[in-house]
Amino acid sequence: MTDQVRPDAGPIRSLLFVPGHRERWVEPARASGADAIVFDLEDAVPVAEIDAARAVVRRAIDNQEPGSPRLLVRTGPPGTEAMVADLDAIVAPGLAGVMMPLVSRPDEVADMDRRLTELEEARGMAVGSTAITPLVETASAARFAYEIADASDRVAYMGGGTSRQGDVARSIGFQWTPGGDETLTLRSWVLLCVRAAGVPFPISGMWSVVDDLDGMRSFAEQTRRLGYSGCMVIHPSHVPVVNDVFTPSAAEVARWREVITVMRQAQDRGVGAIRHDGELIDEAHVKTAELGLALAERLGIATEG
């Protein structure tokens, strides 16, 4: 479709879950410092309260203001009446994206794309502006992670799940540990798949122990080392830790600037690779440094100096 646009998907370091029926939690979530909020209309909402939850979420979307955290919504599973009703209630200007639980096949993402297109057209929204975040919560989703990520240009955020005793643990059969060795292969595999599919900002699953901030930091640091851009978060106390870990440090920014400077000076002399601080660097290092600086700028970090 010629008038379709890609979602305005900026980097998300922290994606904070909020049960959709907890209206009094909306403003604290907005004030938490999270880059994005995902209102849960699936597991976290009692069936008797689902209609009220949809109304709460819609009010939050309609009251969205510039500069506020992005708002996403986790809908019912693909192909269910709950998913259809959720989309009808929440697709509106102010919605950044939808999160799809229990995805197992790429055609489910393609179907979501079509449904979003129909609703966007009917409601005067830019077609393609609503992002899709497929959740890897099944063994099938892990197996077909590339195909799922590649099924729609709307897929902007996606990564490997880590939930303790949740859907992904049940489907794959792993036993959760604080060190995360049991999900390392899963997270790495899904990351490679979504990067290969061109997903700009892979987001990993969450740290599920609310009061263990040291564990949260350790998990986030490992996640960033793997190559993820951020983590899902279940409690506001985790947000500052996650934001800190996924924010480039002053030392990293200085190093990136330095690499670009010394390499450009070398290239001006006709040299393609040099030894700098005991490391061999070339144009590939410059491209990596430029990518890091671009991310820092999108996060509001000054990169000139």
How far apart CA 280 and CA 286 sit, in angstroms, is 12
Q: Is 155 in contact with 199 (CB distance < 8 Å)? A: yes
| Lowest mean per-residue pLDDT among 53-57, 119-123, 224-228, 269-273 | 269-273
How far apart CA 51 and CA 81 sit, in angstroms, is 13
Nearest to 132 by CA among 304, 7, 23: 7
Task: Pick from 103-107, 159-163, 179-183 the range whose average pLDDT is largest.
Answer: 103-107
Q: State yes or no: pLDDT of 19 exceeds 70.
A: yes
- Tens-digit pLDDT profile for residues 256-298: 999 999 999 999 999 889 999 889 999 999 999 999 999 999 9
- Radius of gyration for the alpha carbons in the chain, expressed in angstroms and rounded: 20
Nearest to 98 by CA among 167, 35, 13, 7: 7
Domain boundaries, the chain: 14-245, 250-298
* DSSP single-letter state for residue 24: G
Instruction: Say what percent of the chain tops pLDDT 70.
Output: 96
pLDDT for position 9: 75
pLDDT for position 1: 36
- Tens-digit pLDDT profile for residues 114-169: 999 999 999 999 999 999 999 999 999 999 999 999 999 999 999 987 877 778 88
Architecture of the domain delimited by 14-245: Alpha-Beta Barrel (3.20)
